């Protein structure tokens, strides 16, 4: 299989011209050593907080070993030291165990209340357990609800074993509760003395307690160990040895310098975030500390945080904000996702102006000849309401190769760009025009307010609205929710011609979101609710029922813009219907893209060849490239889609790639860069995305082609679960039979002739007052003729039934 992908790569990658004329230069020379704005000018450290705790239970052996495998060289392993009753140290992330182990279930009667730094704390505590009990009965568990519990099987990790196992790695011991343990006759200082006998070169020892650090001073004297003063999230908390609030201690950096080499602070101490989740200007902390010779590490990094809106949910942008701004760089980042921090530091920092290149499985072949196309989805829809002037401008600024317009028609025959024919998700129509909601069964299963029932002037009276499958804490920038202007198709084409963008994609279908054939509203934690079926006979429906010729409108606009008789700008025509694509057969310079809306896992040679009859490329849902393990958000295997498409000489565009962590496989670290890397590495010829800036930044990353440097991991589907779980358990999992892509999924009957409709197109404002007989009235309850299964809709109904089945599948798959 892998060899076939390679062959595909040879055939396709090497023969298609690259849009920006990039040439292969393989392999690249090693990166020059760069200087950083860290205290000593060295590369910032990646500190794995309890190991790779974004994926595995914090502080477990597997979390630590995987961060060595997936992190860059020199990744520091941070263990939080806690003590059992019999003076055995354990790596555990919290003082009380109920959130991070099964203690409450295993020892229901062991619940205690202690005074910790002056406050009552209830729960289960390590100091009430013997090490035998910990090792024999306790299991470390993933404590964050949105993360997987698939790997909850390790016992708490004894600190001495942790050091033995990681003799060759850099390690960090954080002693958070020295005073509390002293009160219970357990000395963290004494324990660390013993640990230093096991591993003399513990790199860092940290604590939020000055007294502890001062006692450690003489012990680490002459060693390379650095003592680090850790500040709590609550800057107004009181330091236990001095009874002074941390806020005032932070001002005394020269005093801190007397007992610590550096400080470890929450990210917000450096880049504060306000209540509305926007980033405020940075504090001077790093510069001030560096002036005093004090190192600064920042903690709290995780890909599955609800990031400030300034980062557009791109987890890498947050790291770069701390290490790659022009004023300062922190000396290290403490993260739950060491892979992502490694990518930021090794590959992305300083790469803004680097040339674009993409990896391939075989460096020396066509490897970096052809660049993967960056195709926008509704413009930069992650940052602005889809298909608005602002979304398109941003997509161009962000380096999209192809900007897209999903064409919709108004009643008065204006073709314009909007992500969906239904105005409800993408405009403010539901406020003022709810009375014009209608049900059109051949378009979508629920009520909608449809653009074809509105005049262009009426559309202009609305505001665009940013739509996202995610809401709650993952909602997109609320300040931009209703900004921007609607754009007609001809304005879109003029805009594209005026800009240096290499091409346009004209999409002729009902809706263009990341989801397949329905709009789903995602709740937090990868759960989907409220899916809304969308059927895709827009062109046919408009022609037969509304007298609107969408294909004609596109043809005219393209030719009016003289894009039909040139080859400098790429023109991609996309549709989910073969009959629409066939209408453009006569213009060979147009690339025809078939949108496979169904999530599929298997395609036969014959079907692949059938696609080739209608299209030069397919847009595949990213989930069609992988099978998944149970419903757990992990990949299991490749599907044969890329391989068969390439065999049939059909290019593959994969998408829609979003930044939001809930949309990304867990084995890809919930990191869009890892997903993009793997899609491209394993053969995607283009990436369709609502965040072109992320894909663009990926293609400029400095690690591609540098065989010596860290690389974004090429994670084979299934590798992560197979290496972490009992391989037998993985092998025993029998995935549901693969969903086949079938000819009937995309071959549609020829478009019906455009019905002659009496021209009531200019009666602005009363569009719902529909006088013509051919068109189905839209403001009234479901008209009989829109519901009746005509020969065209009969096929649709089968499709709907099928969609319900796949939709149910997807609910468990995501
Ligand atoms: C730990 O669990 C308790 C309930 O058992 C909960 O109230 C608390 O918020 C949790 N703490 C953390 C840090 O998750
Ligand atoms: C973050 O975004 C807000 C709103 O757009 C802006 O006012 C602020 O300056 C940004 N913060 C930074 C540090 O760029
Ligand atoms: C990238 O190029 C711009 C414009 O030429 C320049 O201002 C900027 O400093 C460069 N950035 C880096 C990181 O080289
Ligand atoms: C044709 O193109 C011109 C600009 O070149 C534009 O002003 C006009 O609206 C276009 N007409 C149509 C029908 O698209
Ligand atoms: C599909 O095509 C490949 C490559 O030509 C061939 O090896 C394979 O046997 C074909 N499969 C079927 C079912 O015909
Ligand atoms: C992965 O899929 C390929 C076909 O695409 C199949 O040959 C192979 O056995 C599958 N591997 C596993 C582990 O299921
Ligand atoms: C794909 O294109 C190559 C080169 O044009 C050709 O040799 C090959 O037969 C084509 N493959 C198929 C399945 O048509
Ligand atoms: C249609 O519009 C006309 C004038 O705008 C109005 O008088 C008439 O009542 C409307 N008919 C319906 C059925 O709404």
Q: How far is the CA of 780 from the centre of ligand 8 (A)?
A: 13
Determine if ligand 4 sits within 6 Å of the CB of residue 491.
no
Ligand nearest to the CA of 4: 5
Q: Which of 581, 649, 647, 576 is nearest to 614 (CA)?
A: 581
Residue bearing the CA closest to ligand 8, atom 3: 769
Let me know: does 699 contact 360? Beta carbons within 8 Å. Answer: no
Q: Per mean pLDDT, which range of 260-264, 288-292, 528-532 is the poorest?
A: 528-532
State the burial class of residue 14 (Cβ atoms within 10 Å of its Cβ: 0-12, 13-18, 19+).
middle
Ligand nearest to the CA of 12: 7
User: Which pLDDT band, with edges at 50, 70 and 90, does 28 fall under?
Assistant: low
Let me know: does 230 contact 223? Beta carbons within 8 Å. Answer: no
Q: How far is the CA of 280 from the centre of ligand 3 (A)?
A: 24
**What mean pLDDT is predicted for residues 556-575?**
93
Ligand nearest to the CA of 606: 5
Let me know: does 191 contact 90? Beta carbons within 8 Å. Answer: no
The two structure tokens encoding residue 553: 């409108």
Q: How far apart are CA 272 and CA 390, in angstroms?
A: 27
Q: What is the pLDDT of residue 518?
A: 40
Residue bearing the CA closest to ligand 2, atom 4: 278
Determine if ligand 8 sits within 6 Å of the CB of residue 771.
no
pLDDT at 48 over 70: yes
Q: How far is the CA of 360 from the centre of ligand 3 (A)?
A: 28
Q: How far is the CA of 648 from the centre of ligand 7 (A)?
A: 7
Ligand nearest to the CA of 648: 7
Q: Per mean pLDDT, which range of 105-109, 124-128, 175-179, 356-360 is the poorest?
A: 356-360
Residue bearing the CA closest to ligand 1, atom 14: 99
Residue bearing the CA closest to ligand 3, atom 9: 353
Let me know: does 775 contact 440? Beta carbons within 8 Å. Answer: no
Q: What is the pLDDT of residue 509?
A: 78
Ligand nearest to the CA of 770: 8
Q: How high does pLDDT run on average in the chain?
A: 85
**What mean pLDDT is predicted for residues 201-210?**
97
Q: How far apart are CA 559 and CA 582, in angstroms?
A: 17
User: What are the phi and psi torsion angles at 400 (to 5°)?
Assistant: -65, 140
Residue bearing the CA closest to ligand 4, atom 12: 557
Q: How far apart are CA 711 and CA 361, in angstroms?
A: 13
Cα–Cα–Cα angle for 633, 639, 645, nearest 5°?
135
Strand, coil or helix: what is 565?
A: coil
Q: What is the pLDDT of residue 682?
A: 86
Q: Which of 732, 719, 736 is nearest to 668 (CA)?
A: 719
Residue 723 half-sphere exposure toward CB, CA atoms < 13 A: 13
Residue bearing the CA closest to ligand 8, atom 14: 769
State the burial class of residue 738 (Cβ atoms within 10 Å of its Cβ: 0-12, 13-18, 19+).
middle
Q: How far apart are CA 633 and CA 610, in angstroms?
A: 32
Q: What is the pLDDT of residue 362?
A: 52
Give pLDDT tens digits for 86-107: 999 999 999 999 999 999 999 9
Atom of ligand 4 nearest to the CA of 557: 14
Q: What is the pLDDT of residue 473?
A: 86
Ligand nearest to the CA of 490: 4
**What mean pLDDT is predicted for residues 218-245?**
96
Q: What is the pLDDT of residue 393?
A: 98
Atom of ligand 1 nearest to the CA of 104: 5
The two structure tokens encoding residue 264: 């470890």
Question: What's the pTM?
Answer: 0.87
**Element containing residue 115 per DSSP (H, E):** strand 112-116
Best residue among 1, 5, 11, 605 to mutate for probing ligand 5's pocket (most ligand atoms within 8 Å of CB) is 605
Residue bearing the CA closest to ligand 3, atom 7: 353
User: Which pLDDT band, with edges at 50, 70 and 90, does 681 fall under?
Assistant: confident
Residue bearing the CA closest to ligand 7, atom 11: 648
Q: Which of 247, 1, 196 is nearest to 81 (CA)?
A: 196
Q: How far is the CA of 578 from the centre of ligand 5 (A)?
A: 24
The two structure tokens encoding residue 244: 């002074």
Q: How far is the CA of 560 from the centre of ligand 4 (A)?
A: 6
Give pLDDT tens digits for 284-341: 999 999 999 999 999 999 999 999 999 999 999 999 999 999 999 999 999 999 999 9
State the burial class of residue 336 (Cβ atoms within 10 Å of its Cβ: 0-12, 13-18, 19+).
buried
Determine if ligand 3 sits within 6 Å of the CB of residue 34.
no
Q: Per mean pLDDT, which range of 258-267, 355-364, 502-511 is the poorest?
A: 355-364
More confident residue, 128 or 527: 128
Determine if ligand 4 sits within 6 Å of the CB of residue 497.
no
The two structure tokens encoding residue 231: 């500040």
Give pLDDT tens digits for 604-663: 999 999 999 999 999 998 889 999 888 778 999 999 999 999 999 999 999 889 999 988
Atom of ligand 4 nearest to the CA of 490: 14
Q: What percentage of residues in the chain have a pLDDT greater than 90?
A: 69
Determine if ligand 3 sits within 6 Å of the CB of residue 352.
yes
790's CB contacts (< 8 A; 6+ apart) are: none
Q: How far apart are CA 225 and CA 219, in angstroms?
A: 10
């Amino acid at each position: 299989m892998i060899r076939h992908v390679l062959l595909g790569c040879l055939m396709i990658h090497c023969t298609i011209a690259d849009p920006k004329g990039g040439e292969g230069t393989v392999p690249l020379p090693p990166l020059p050593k760069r200087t950083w704005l860290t205290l000593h000018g060295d590369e910032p450290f990646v500190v794995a907080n309890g190991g790779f705790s974004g994926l595995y239970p914090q502080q477990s052996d597997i979390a630590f070993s995987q961060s060595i495998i997936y992190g860059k060289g020199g990744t520091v392993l941070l263990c939080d030291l806690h003590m059992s009753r019999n003076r055995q140290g354990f790596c555990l992330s919290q003082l009380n165990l109920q959130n991070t182990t099964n203690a409450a279930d295993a020892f229901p009667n062991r619940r205690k209340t202690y005074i910790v730094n002056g406050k009552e704390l209830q729960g289960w505590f390590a100091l009430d357990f013997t090490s035998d009990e910990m090792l024999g009965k306790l299991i470390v568990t993933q404590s964050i609800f949105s993360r997987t519990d698939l790997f909850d099987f390790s016992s708490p990790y004894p600190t001495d074993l942790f050091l033995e196992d990681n003799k060759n790695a850099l390690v960090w011991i954080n002693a958070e509760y020295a005073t509390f343990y002293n009160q219970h006759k357990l000395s963290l200082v004494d324990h660390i003395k013993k640990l230093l006998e096991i591993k003399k070169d513990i790199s860092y020892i940290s604590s939020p307690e000055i007294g502890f650090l001062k006692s450690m001073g003489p012990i680490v004297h002459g060693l390379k160990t650095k003592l680090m003063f850790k500040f709590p999230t609550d800057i107004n908390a009181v330091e236990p040895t001095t009874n002074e609030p941390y806020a005032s201690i932070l001002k005394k950096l020269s005093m801190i310098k007397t007992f610590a080499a550096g400080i470890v602070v929450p990210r917000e101490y450096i880049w504060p975030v306000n209540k509305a989740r926007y980033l405020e200007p940075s504090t001077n902390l790093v510069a001030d500390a560096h002036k005093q010779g004090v190192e600064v590490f920042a903690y709290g990094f995780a890909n599955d945080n609800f990031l400030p809106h300034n980062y557009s949910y791109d987890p890498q942008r947050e790291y770069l904000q701390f290490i790659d701004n022009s004023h300062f760089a922190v000396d290290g980042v403490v993260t739950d996702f060491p892979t992502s921090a490694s990518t930021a530091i090794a590959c992305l920092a300083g790469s803004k102006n680097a040339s674009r290149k993409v990896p391939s499985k075989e460096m020396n072949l066509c490897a970096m000849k052809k660049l993967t196309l960056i195709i926008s989805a509704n413009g930069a829809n992650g940052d602005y309401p889809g298909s608005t002037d602002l979304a398109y401008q941003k997509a161009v600024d962000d380096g999209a190769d192809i900007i897209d317009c999903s064409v919709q028609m108004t009643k008065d025959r204006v073709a314009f760009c909007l992500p969906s024919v239904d105005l409800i998700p993408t405009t403010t129509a539901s406020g003022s025009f709810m009375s014009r909601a209608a049900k059109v069964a051949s378009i979508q299963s629920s009520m909608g307010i449809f653009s074809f029932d509105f005049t262009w002037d009426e559309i202009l009276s609305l505001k665009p609205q940013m739509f996202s499958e995610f809401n709650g804490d993952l909602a997109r920038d609320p300040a931009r929710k209703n900004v921007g202007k609607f754009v007609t198709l001809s304005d879109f084409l003029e805009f594209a011609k005026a800009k240096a963008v290499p091409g346009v994609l004209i999409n002729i279908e009902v809706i263009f979101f990341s989801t397949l054939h329905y709009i789903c509203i995602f709740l937090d934690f990868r759960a989907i609710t409220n899916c809304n079926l969308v059927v895709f006979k827009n062109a046919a429906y408009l022609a037969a029922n509304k007298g609107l010729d969408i294909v004609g409108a596109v043809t005219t606009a393209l030719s009016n813009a003289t894009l039909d008789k040139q080859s400098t700008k790429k023109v991609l025509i996309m549709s989910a219907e073969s009959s629409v694509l066939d209408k453009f057969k006569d213009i060979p310079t147009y690339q025809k893209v078939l949108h496979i809306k169904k999530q599929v896992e298997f395609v036969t040679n014959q079907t692949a060849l059938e696609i080739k009859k209608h299209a030069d490329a397919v847009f595949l849902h990213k989930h069609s490239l992988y099978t998944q393990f149970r419903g757990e958000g992990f990949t299991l295997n490749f599907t044969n889609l890329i391989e068969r498409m390439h065999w049939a000489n059909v290019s593959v565009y994969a998408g829609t790639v979003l930044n939001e962590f809930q949309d990304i496989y867990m084995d890809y670290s919930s990191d869009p860069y890892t997903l993009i890397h793997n899609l491209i590495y394993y053969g995607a010829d283009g990436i369709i995305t609502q965040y072109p800036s992320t894909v663009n930044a990926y293609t400029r990353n400095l690690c591609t082609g540098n065989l010596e440097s860290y690389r974004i991991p090429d994670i084979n589907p299934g590798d992560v679960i197979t290496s972490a779980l009992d391989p037998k358990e993985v092998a025993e999992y029998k995935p549901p039979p693969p969903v086949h892509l079938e000819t009937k999924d995309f071959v549609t009957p020829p478009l019906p002739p455009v019905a002659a409709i009496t021209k009531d197109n200019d009666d602005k404002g009363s569009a719902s007052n529909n006088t013509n007989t051919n068109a189905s009235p839209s403001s009234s309850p479901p008209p009989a003729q829109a519901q009746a299964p005509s020969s065209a809709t009969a096929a649709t109904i089968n499709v709907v039934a099928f969609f319900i089945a796949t939709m149910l599948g997807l609910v468990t798959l995501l």
